[in-house]
Amino acid sequence: MLHSLDISSRQVVLDGRDFGDSGPYEQLYGSARFALDPTHLRNTGIIDLTHAPVDANGQVNCRADIWILKPADAARGNGALFYHVVNRGRNGVLASFQLASGSNTPSVAAEFGDGLLMEHGFTMAAVGWQEDVPLHGDQERNLLTLDVPILAGVTGPVACEIVVDAPTQLHSLGSRYHDPYEWSEAHRDEAVLSVRDEPYAAMTAIAQDAWHFDRLSDGRAAIRLPSGFEPGRIYHLVYTGRDPRVVGLGFATTRDFVSFLKYEQATTEGQPNPLARHLQRAHAFGSSQSGRFLRDLLHQGFNQDEADRQVFDGLFVSVGGGGGGSFNHRFAQPSRHAGAHTDVFYPTERYPFHDLPQPDAAAGAGSTATGLLDVCRTSQTMPKIFYTNTSTEYWNRSTSLIHTTTDGQQDAAPHADTRIYHFAGTQHGPGGLPDMPSGNTLPANPVDFHFAFRALALALDAWVRDATPPPPSAHASLAAGTLVPLEEVRWPRLPGLPLPTHPRQPRRLDWGDHWQEGRIDREPPGLGSGYPVRFPQVDEDGNEIDGIQMPEVAVPLGTFTGWRYRTREMGASWALAGLAGVWFPFPATEAAAAATGDPRRPLTERYRDRDDYVQRCVAVADALVARRLLLQRDVARVESRAVAMYEYATSP
């Protein structure tokens, strides 16, 4: 439970500017301290909590940073909390829903955006939940962090997978963004470094005297390979780590902070709740890593607090695909995530994928069918849920498994309180308008689905508040023939852009006999059967034909993908690169198409001029408004983007 609250800063924002009926807003920063009884039924799911140090009352303590943005007069709010699960300590709720420039400490108008959620009276809040967020360097200041106890002297296997994009000799034992576990000196000689070229290929061991443990300039644990890490190759280090942290406390800080704001009048030390008696419902938004966190929070039973009350009433789970995460086991590494090319051995995409019980096709006959929402359904703590995904998650995060059976043969309807939205032709993050062309590099996918997020946020609240039905699910399906195996995707022969041959392919993994107890004792894990994934079907231009088409895709100026390839310099140029997509503009004229062998119709055959193109985009925007997938206030923004897109596509 939340034990104490320390508000270190409390200020009215933007000089007291009024946000409609909500009035001025104030912003609070501080920290919260939590005390958890390791024997409490609602805490027994936190791995290693019973092994953590306790205080004089037999409770385990931890501390987290907090942030709250609320109406200065809480009574003028709409009664709803819009909680953000921060991504690696970074708070992006204002950027996602108010079109704001990103900042963990917003202060100027641009960092609050257009004020959409504030005008509607929402309170926004966040708490640190990830204990390994690094605090090194200027760019990491003001992150929301979590301090948890460690299990001093405990050791165990830790996996470190490394893929570099440029030659280097030194690499952190962590991923791109986390503090790694230290190696155990007593077991230094037992560490094994190997290399392979494809995700599930056989590993080739590298001699122990060919590498050694080292440190980065900031002191973090690292590995040095004097011969150099080769770009694109997959290096896998298994070493004995020491002093694991109680990572699963991140679920408890999330649960208990939101529960306190929603239900309690004061902390156990008497500090008042700044929102006491003013919240009737709580929603959570999590994107990418944070979306996967919310999926695991539901699956592991943390939507029920210590008093058996429901925590979240609505969840907005963005670009989590079919994944969960490395969030609650010994030596967990929350920043790790499986991709098409790397990190495939971490427990981030694993059964169950679907809301409702489905047989595990990779486990064989006789296995027990389970679903992601089993605990919520049993405990009657079922929230309303929006799952939103992009094309990237179908290629790089197994999204099809959230709405098909695990053998990939049939559609599987979600829970009645769930909606699934696929933004066709989009990449993992919303795109910005590209700079002018340079060389032969294809621009990044520019489609901005945040416009739809804004409408969906209001729809989710209305669904929870007064049972107003939200927009129906919109995604590709097997029955409609718009979700197909890889070999059936009708990809056009685009010059220089073939269809990927190595998308993300999750497999059943065996981490050893103690995995069910939250301990990995087999690294790398044993490999089981794969889970068949399916992909959105495309039209003659290569654009996806089902799901929600934002105006850029419905009225295309080219082919939009949720994937792109690694470059030759990055190595493994056949493999998918991260979570990015591309925009491959149409040829301007028939002559240009013929010169490059491009089979797509040129722009001159599609649109009379810029005004014709822009008017069609506005018509699509109007249709999305009618479907409650776009706000009327954003139609002008769509029009402005359409002008810029057309000018880019037709520039010399």
Strands 483-484 and 526-530: unpaired
Specify if 102 maps to a domain.
yes
Specify if 52 maps to a domain.
yes
* Tokens describing residue 75: 């009574």
Specify if 511 maps to a domain.
no
652 — pLDDT class (breaks 50, 70, 90): confident
Per-residue pLDDT for 140 more than 50? no
Region 49-63 average pLDDT: 97
DSSP string covering 442-474, please?
PPBP---THHHHHHHHHHHHHHHHH-PPPPPPB
- Which CATH number characterizes residue 431's domain? 3.40.50.1820
Selection from 300, 306, 184 nearest residue 248 by Cα? 300
Per-residue pLDDT for 606 more than 50? yes
Per-residue pLDDT for 136 more than 80? no
**Averaged confidence pLDDT in the chain:** 95
Q: Is residue 371 located within the same domain as residue 391?
A: yes
Specify if 472 maps to a domain.
no
Q: Is residue 188 located within the same domain as residue 282?
A: no
Cα–Cα distance measured from residue 508 to residue 49, given in angstroms and rounded to the nearest whole number: 27
Domain finish residue from 210, 242, 274: 242
Kindly report the number of other CB atoms within 10 A of residue 163's CB atom.
Answer: 22
Q: Is residue 229 located within the same domain as residue 252?
A: no
106 — pLDDT class (breaks 50, 70, 90): very high
Q: Is residue 207 located within the same domain as residue 354?
A: no
Q: Is residue 133 located within the same domain as residue 257?
A: yes
User: What per-residue confidence (pLDDT) applies to 437?
Assistant: 53
Kindly report the number of other CB atoms within 10 A of residue 194's CB atom.
Answer: 15
Q: Which domain holds residue 25?
A: 2-147+246-466
Phi, psi of 367 (to 5 degrees): -75, 150
Cα–Cα distance measured from residue 168 to residue 412, given in angstroms and rounded to the nearest whole number: 46
**pLDDT per residue as tens digits for the range 383-411:** 999 999 999 999 999 999 999 999 999 99
Phi, psi of 282 (to 5 degrees): -135, 130
Specify if 355 maps to a domain.
yes
Q: Is residue 370 located within the same domain as residue 257?
A: yes
CB 414 within 8 A of CB 446: no
Phi, psi of 15 (to 5 degrees): 55, 35
Domain finish residue from 242, 264, 288: 242
Specify if 477 maps to a domain.
no
Q: Is residue 374 located within the same domain as residue 306?
A: yes
Per-residue pLDDT for 624 more than 60? yes
The sheet with strand 168-172 has its strands ordered as: 168-172, 221-229, 212-215
Coil, strand or helix at 403? coil
CB 389 within 8 A of CB 422: yes
Q: Is residue 128 located within the same domain as residue 178?
A: no
Cα–Cα distance measured from residue 324 to residue 352, given in angstroms and rounded to the nearest whole number: 9
Per-residue pLDDT for 147 more than 50? yes
User: What per-residue confidence (pLDDT) applies to 440?
Assistant: 56
Contacts of 78 (CB under 8 A, 6+ apart): 22, 120, 121, 122, 461
How many structural domains compose the chain?
3
Q: Is residue 168 located within the same domain as residue 67?
A: no
Specify if 448 maps to a domain.
yes
Cα–Cα distance measured from residue 485 to residue 496, given in angstroms and rounded to the nearest whole number: 23
DSSP 8-state code for residue 439: T
Region 134-163 average pLDDT: 85
Q: Is residue 500 located within the same domain as residue 629?
A: yes
Strands, E, within 163-216: which ranges?
168-172, 192-196, 204-206, 212-215
Specify if 554 maps to a domain.
yes
Q: Is residue 184 located within the same domain as residue 58?
A: no
Q: Is residue 595 located within the same domain as residue 568?
A: yes
Cα–Cα distance measured from residue 576 to residue 389, given in angstroms and rounded to the nearest whole number: 18
| CB-count burial class (<10 Å; 0-12, 13-18, 19+) for 587 | buried
